[in-house]
A = this chain, B = another copy of it.
Amino acid sequence: MGIADDAVEIRARGWRTLAALHALIETELERELGATAGLSVVEYTVLDALNRQDGWHMRMQQLARAAALSPSATTRLVTRLEDRGLLTRVLCADDRRGIYTELTPAGLDLYEKAHPIHDEILERVLGEAADRPELAPVVHALQGVEAVA
């Protein structure tokens, strides 16, 4: 096997590892957040993204990017959360095509309840993953991720 073939195999293995770690974390978050806060992972992700905006609002598209969802899925996700009273749609004046969403007090409450649970799970699962030789390099790389510009 030549050098080029090695590179192919290394990439494929890296991708499998990434996918395995991602699935491990997501499955666990899904279970625990669902049981303790009644939130799915994407739902938590939306609340988290809105909260990190620090009281400011976000367009649907930004939300879609943050949650890695299609526009249609984002619409429905926001509708679900709105129906539960966790966020509100705000028609914004400067561009009446766009729609902003912001957390309600209830949404903030639930987020603040879910946040420590979210981190506990993350800490535990990342700790377990760090003990697996095939996952450890990626786990450690996550510590070195820079803040968003």
Contacts and interface: CB of A to CB of B under 8 A. Distances in A.
Interface of A: 8, 10-15, 17-23, 25-27, 45, 48, 68, 118-119, 122-123, 126, 133-134, 137-138, 140-149
A75 to B, nearest CB: 18
A106 B120 CA distance: 47
A129 to B, nearest CB: 11
Q: How many copies does the complex hold?
A: 2
Contacts of A20: 68
A97 B91 CA distance: 57
Nearest to A49: B16
A23 to B, nearest CB: 4
A26 to B, nearest CB: 8
